[in-house]
Amino acid sequence: MKASLRLLNASKARTPLIHFLGPRKTPTEPHVHRPHAMAPPEAKGEAFEAFLQKLNSYTSASTSGAGTKAATYRNFWEVPSYASFRPTELSDFEIEEIMTGGAAARK
């Protein structure tokens, strides 16, 4: 009985239980910042306005910049040597610690 039900269910096309309304689209304007509906009253008033002022001052300072253009690199070998990864040599003691999971007797 169970095998026949499984075969019957396998032959049906599965329809999802969730349905989305309308087509997918990205928002054209950013959302409005506001406190959560269940936030305490002291977080909704002047404290939230002060937070928004700080938030806007940080974002405007970071976007304005000091007139310097950050360099972007397409390939890792174009990065200057001071910013590139330098592999270090592991000693035999460190390799042994890694291989034993740190359970070896420490010196």
103: in domain = yes
Is residue 89 a part of any domain in this protein? Answer: yes
* Residue 47 maps to a domain: no
49 part of a folded domain: no
Q: What is the pTM of this model?
A: 0.31
Please give the DSSP secondary-structure letter assigned to residue 82.
G
Q: Is residue 87 part of a domain?
A: yes
For residue 90, being part of any structural domain is answered with yes
Q: The domain containing residue 88 runs over which residues? A: 75-107
Burial (CB count <10 Å: 0-12, 13-18, 19+), residue 68: exposed
Residue 29 domain flag: no
Residue 105's pLDDT is: 62
pLDDT at 65: 55
Which distant-in-sequence residues (6+ apart) come within 8 Å of 79 by Cβ?
A: 73
pLDDT in tens, 27-85: 788 888 888 889 888 888 888 888 888 877 865 555 555 556 777 877 777 888 887 77
Judge whether 23 lies within some domain.
Answer: no
Q: How many domains would you assign to the chain?
A: 1
Cβ contact 52:33 at 8 Å: yes
Q: Using alpha carbons only, give the angle 22, 24, 25 rounded to the nearest 5 degrees.
A: 110
